[in-house]
Structure 1
Amino acid sequence: MNRVPMTVEGAEALQTELNELKKVKRPQVVAAIAEAREHGDLKENAEYHAAREQQGFIEGRIQEIEAKLSNSQIVDVTKISNNGKVIFGSTVILINMDDNNADEVQYKIVGDDEADIKKNKLSINSPIARGLIGKEEGDIANIQTPKGSVEYEIAEVLYL
């Protein structure tokens, strides 16, 4: 079985969602179904059908999260000694060598489920992350973007 890498924060977020679904959402939808049943004829009972559909979504998401957590390999970079190498879970500070006015950018390399470019979290499978993995502080990485190749200097690698 292929283990999927996941950060500690990513696993905690999924566990929190799972607890919410099991302890709050699931009981709410069961109560809604019971209440809708009391209204009589189920064939034309929109509330009943909506609640059953919602129950299907909740149960599907619970199974999906449980599968992701069981197939995950939790990587805690804070417990790995920092040798300046870009690895899964590390935070990388980059300088765009092609743009003299560019500020430094900071990205954390995370699993697919955790990726969120607005929070500067890059999927391990993204072109930028793939171009950075294995490189070290001070290295230059050529990253293929839709606008062509961009050179980034790896200014710093943090294991936060």
Structure 2
Amino acid sequence: MVQAHEKSKKLIDAIEPPMKLTDQQVKLAKQYAYERLKEGFTIASFCSNNNLSSKTFYVWKEQSEFMEYLNRVQDALLPEDAVQAYENVKKKVIEMANKGGATNLKEIKLFQETFPSVVESDRRKQLEELGLDQNGKAKQGNITKSPEEHKESLLRRLKKDDRK
């Protein structure tokens, strides 16, 4: 366990924080990523334990530089076997949907509840590929994609998933 923690720390320390972030934001982003993986984590308790108002934390989360850094740190902490298991679940769901078979929703829900950070990371990556922000809206500076462009992007991702 100590080796895994040291490896994670090295991965996170290698991530260059944006210049706009304060030392406090960098420190708390790293701490947030670690604590978020623990059972019973809440933003309110995180903020309270770190003498930070929830309002301030949510203001930070609105800053793209902070969120991009936080997401990179969180993704670095994801266990590789959990990410691979999630990719396998996605592949299985696609296979079952293509075959018209029954999907075991209980197993999928259990997986999503067990590995919410992996599910959230995948969601962020998919939104980013589509040029959308966390709320599903077009990012500033991005030209909104037409329905045909969205369809083409989705088909490319599905084909990529099928090859795995």
What TM-score does the superposition give when structure 2 sets the normalisation length? 0.23
Could you say which structure has the higher helix fraction? 2
What TM-score does the superposition give when structure 1 sets the normalisation length? 0.23
Structure exhibiting the larger radius of gyration computed from Cα positions:
1
Could you say which structure has the higher strand fraction? 1
